[in-house]
Structure 1
């Protein structure tokens, strides 16, 4: 009997543990080709993510080699390269984790057409979310538009079984694994490294704090959030495995995983989420002020909590979630600037920048998305005083204010004039026609 072969195209599931596409192929086929195609169309959008991706691929290659296989790397169009390799090894078909972005769905459609043309099958697998994007639907609709009812349904949803890593991966003979270039240089000096092994260590180190998550996750200076978001974004860790480790589908951390799934099911139904307002009738009377956008991007708005968040973003390729809300709210609700340029700035720097969550959260804050209270705003001073009460977060990222004690660091414009003149820090941006109460 001839040996059966399959190709698994790995995209945002760069792991061996709980990888349904890989586990299924290794169980059903004699020979399996784990493949990643470096698409030049995606390279260069974020130097930080490019570096994280290459580190993750190197880690995955090592894990596969320990199991007798290898990660096959190709460069070019992912559909053309996948079909070329599948034909070369005599594969019956291709496995792929389903995804929701416009790019991913176009890739899936093209791959399905080419598989049909070459008489191969394409099978899609879950694994990018805890609950599949189409797994929960409200009565009379194709997706949930408001989070709370989705959260209730999500908590009681039946989940697939978590899968162990394959014990052995066997490549067809003669397959050239291809060269994986060294990780490119990122733009953020303190960015976290990529890879499943790093993700697993991070998860184990963080789990002891889980019971205190509800009390500590908004503490800006404490920095006790999981920081798993980049690893979830690239699939270095399974979202289902993380959810299972929380042991409480109604808990506060599980709620954050649910928000992630929520944005994925929204994006599946509304693929224009990165460019077009989701909410019908949303007001989009934005100002366009390039100097103000530049000041916000570079962390020199004169609003300390905003500048601290934006500087953390540039240094670490990551930002505390509370700071994301504050900085995005400041851009859209105070400066009155369009959310799309803000989204692009985040997407350029963030390791965890992806279409569903980055876009969904920006639209939520801007009032154009899924927030049932679209006029909700964030007073940056009140937010700073509540979540950075002694100013430690601001002083860490805005060293110009390191000598200002206590809560005064959040409102330097109220310091005595003589002291203000000694600070190398700009006054708050002025917005025509506005009189923010926190500046009075």
Structure 2
């Protein structure tokens, strides 16, 4: 095939012409995928080390998930929550039991789950805690990433996410991530919730010091404040456990879930909490036309069944140890630091060598797809179906671009 026969340039030009420039994608046009590998429109294969920001924890086109989707497509795809469909209770019960919670509220996107968590926390604060109307406060961490709605970007510290989108929603306090003293100082009688990511992915896969979340749990208990864990990226097997917060032996009052919950097929998100929290919602106070639709529930229920076996959590823990050992061996050879848990790593490249963007462009040229974040940091998050050989190959390509 000559350069004149390549389809990628025309596809990229069309995308550039007809879409808003809210992303800066790598020059790769994917047409097919299976497992941990994707193929572009010109037949070039790439190892996927991003996995749709953890939406593809089970790989591309997992056979069990595809079968569940196909079976449901032949029967029923949408009813709206004005009625009950035959997949709804199965999904909600399975997910509630996986989370160890009483109730589940299904939505679609991760941002919707976060918005739902905010609304529930505020209503709980007014109806249960007794916070004066309109005075509820939620504490969040600097460098967070919880989504891109106007409410969520109101408590972002990322200029790209926040600037020029005001006026901003009040009711949030921002403190340094990992700082228990700052959290203790920020809590007031009007605090209804503390919303945190167990690992900050967008910030560079930042893991707080051991004991931080135990301290968060204690402070929340002492002040009658809800602890909300945003497990949208970190949950559902990514870090070697079902939820990343489990590494700290802590149980939050509310889980926010998404991404992998849809199996890489449909957008599925959910909030899971006990009845004394989620039970504050009454009919008509919150909803979604597509939230909890039959297709989403059929796929989501199969995701829950896959996780219930523990196989994917074990793979992530075992292969994650191999990945981190291999990456750590590159420190001093162009890598400054490695962070993360399970099959999730943030890698700081020496900025004297290249930026994060330059690193992922060079990796793509060698057949590995990853994503940069701030400065010279790149994120690696392969599907949990990745093999040892795939991991070794990807790390070898990273080592090669650092030489």
Give the structure-1-normalised TM-score: 0.29
Higher strand share: 2
Give the structure-2-normalised TM-score: 0.31
Which has the higher Rg, Structure 1 or Structure 2?
A: 1
Q: Which has the higher contact order (CA 8 A, sep 6+)?
A: 2
